[in-house]
Chain A
Amino acid sequence: MTTPSAGLGLKPVHFAQALAAPADGLWFEVHPENYMVAGGPRLRWLEAIRARHPLSLHGVALSLASDAEPDAAQLARFAALVRRFEPALVSEHLAWSAAQGAYLPDLLPFPRTSEALARIAANVGRVQDALGRRIAVENPSHYLALEGHAWDEIDFLAELARRSGCGLLLDVNNVFVSARNLGASAEAYVDAFPGDLVMEVHLAGHSADPALGQALLVDSHDAPVAPEVWALYERLVARIGPRPTLIERDDKLPGFAELMVERATALDVLRGRFAQAA
């Protein structure tokens, strides 16, 4: 991905259209956990996609912020996929999802202490050693004001990158959702984020919590990217320049064409078309 372009999260229902899509610079991102199988058509589909388009592996389960090392078997499975598919990008989350031998299908928060920073930096180091490459770590969505933060989130991420050598994935929707839920400024966060560390950008939709309404936004990935998030994205790209940008949709999937339209909007921002028109 030498020229930063826009990609799509890839779901099995869209395989045939994704494979046939002729779009210039189109790349796809998948969750590697869905391809950790012994054999069969899933791997063949992904090989066919990879033969035509760059691929990004976006892990959701290494549980970097657990007070434990990443699970050795899980890391080995991840490394096998990296060797097999040679992805252009590999990323994970500033979160945890493994506890007491169980997998919790969510990205859970933690107090940003120096203890957590040391643990996560060591975990990122282990992952990068096992995969033989640099990974990008994504900023989380927040719903709760936790007690006990010793570090500002951006300082924490920058220090994590300094210690481990990792890059960062900036999810602009997470910034918007978190800022709204915790009463902070999304613009200030985007403006302060270290641009030279950003390897990838995520854009997704959110929704209001069914019980609490607009007072609590949920990073649900089940809707188009919101206008406020597009505005933050334009602000980011104007400051740091273009970066590989993903349209993420995991639920209430629309047709492939609808996702390609959102991707085209991101591409317009990346190529500065909005800035020229203004």
Chain B
Amino acid sequence: MMHAATLAQFQDDFVRTLRDPDRPAPPAFAVYRNTVMKGCIDALQANYPAVARLVGDEWFRAAAAVYARAHAPRVPMLLEYGRDFDAFLAAFGPAAELPFLSAVARLDRFWTEAHAAADEPALDARALAGLDPESLASLRLRPHAAARWAWHELPAYTIWSRNRNEAMVAADEPDVEWRPEGVLIARPDDAVRWIGLDAAGCAFMDACAAGATLLEAAAAVPAADLSGLLAKLLDAGAFTNGELR
């Protein structure tokens, strides 16, 4: 089959046949179509485990096949495959009744990004302890390379964290409370972990990421909550040394 004058012509023709199921090919050619598709779907399932657990294998693999037909991997590091799967799910008709699914996919992506991010030391609360008030106020805290955070108008974080863990959700676990919530995912001590974060905490992280001083970033947070929030973020590995080298 597929006689071609040159290697380049053969490969062009082969790729066209791979992508177009209506192009004639011998029955055994299906092995290549199946293997390429299975490789893409398996990679998406590995990268989006909470989404897959929520919707079940069959639904997930059908949706992943639709995605894979439209978006081939660009690089061989399949950990990176499906970066825009959350946007795909947001526009995917069959997911319309699951308005949190896209946000859950984004949190799965955050987990992978936190897992594979560059190594750098996490800022320790002790590094701040010796600073006088003026130095503290002008300090610019830099988010750690592994830190990701988001605020959602839906309880996406609760739904995601219940489906991200291998453990089964207990039968007596209360129903998900339908409210807005935020999350911070980071990698303190080389393991990916997450904490719930309120709207002020997310705004604080946004301000730090934009290069604000601690005084400027604190404008987003009620004064009484600031030291508690800072302690919680430092404990979660949200920042790296930045100016404190």
Q: Is there a chain A Cβ closer than 8 Å to B211's Cβ?
A: no
Extra pairs beyond A100-B15, A144-B26 (18, CB < 8 Å) = A39-B116, A39-B119, A41-B115, A41-B187, A60-B76, A67-B8, A67-B11, A74-B75, A74-B76, A98-B76, A108-B11, A108-B32, A119-B7, A143-B32, A145-B1, A209-B30, A211-B30, A216-B31
Number of interface residues of A (CB under 8 A): 46
Q: Which residues of A contact B190 (CB under 8 A)?
A: 40-41, 44
Query: Interface-forming stretch among B36-44, B87-95, B154-162, B197-205?
Result: B36-44
Please tell me if A278 contacts chain B, counting CB pairs below 8 Å. Answer: no
A102 x B115 contact (CB < 8 A): no
Q: B-side interface residues toward A, CB under 8 Å?
A: 1-4, 6-8, 10-12, 14-15, 18, 26-32, 35-36, 39-40, 43, 72-79, 115-120, 145-146, 187, 190-191
Q: Return the contact of B28 from the options A34, A38, A97, A143 (Cβ within 8 A).
A: A143
* CB-CB under 8 A for A33 and B76, given A40-B115, A99-B15, A216-B31: yes
Chain A, range 38-91, C-beta contacts under 8 Å to B: 38-42, 44, 60-61, 65-67, 74
Partner of A105, one of B6, B26, B40, B117: B40
Which of A102, A113, A144, A216 contacts B74 (CB under 8 A)? A102
CA gap between A218 and B33 in the complex, in Å: 13
- Which residues does chain A contribute within 8 Å of B4, judged by CB atoms? 111, 148
12 contacts between A and B (CB under 8 A): A33-B77, A33-B78, A34-B78, A38-B116, A39-B116, A74-B76, A106-B35, A115-B7, A143-B31, A146-B2, A211-B30, A212-B27
Interface SS, B side: helix
- A143 / chain B contacts, CB cutoff of 8 Å: 28-29, 31-32
- The CA-CA distance from A270 to B117 in the complex, in Å, is 42
When chains A and B are docked, how far (Å) is the Cα of A98 from the Cα of B18?
13
Which 3 residue pairs of A and B lie closest in terms of their CB atoms, listed nearest first? A105-B39, A61-B76, A39-B119
**Complex: A213 Cα to B4 Cα, angstroms:** 30
Q: Which of A87-130 contact B (CB under 8 A)?
A: 96-106, 108, 110-111, 113, 115-116, 119
Chain A residues, CB < 8 A from B7: 65, 67, 110-111, 113, 115-116, 119
A-B contact count (CB 8 A): 125
Quote the shortest CB–CB distance from A111 to chain B (angstroms).
6
A108 to B72, CA, bound (A): 16
Q: Is the CB of A147 within 8 A of B28?
A: no
Partner of B187, one of A40, A96, A103, A146: A40
Interface residues of A (CB under 8 A from B): 33-34, 36-42, 44, 60-61, 65-67, 74, 96-106, 108, 110-111, 113, 115-116, 119, 143-148, 181, 209, 211-212, 216, 218
Residue of B nearest to A38 (CB): B118
Answer whether A103 and B76 are a contact pair too, CB < 8 Å, given A40-B190, A110-B10, A181-B28: yes
Partner of A39, one of B2, B8, B75, B145: B145
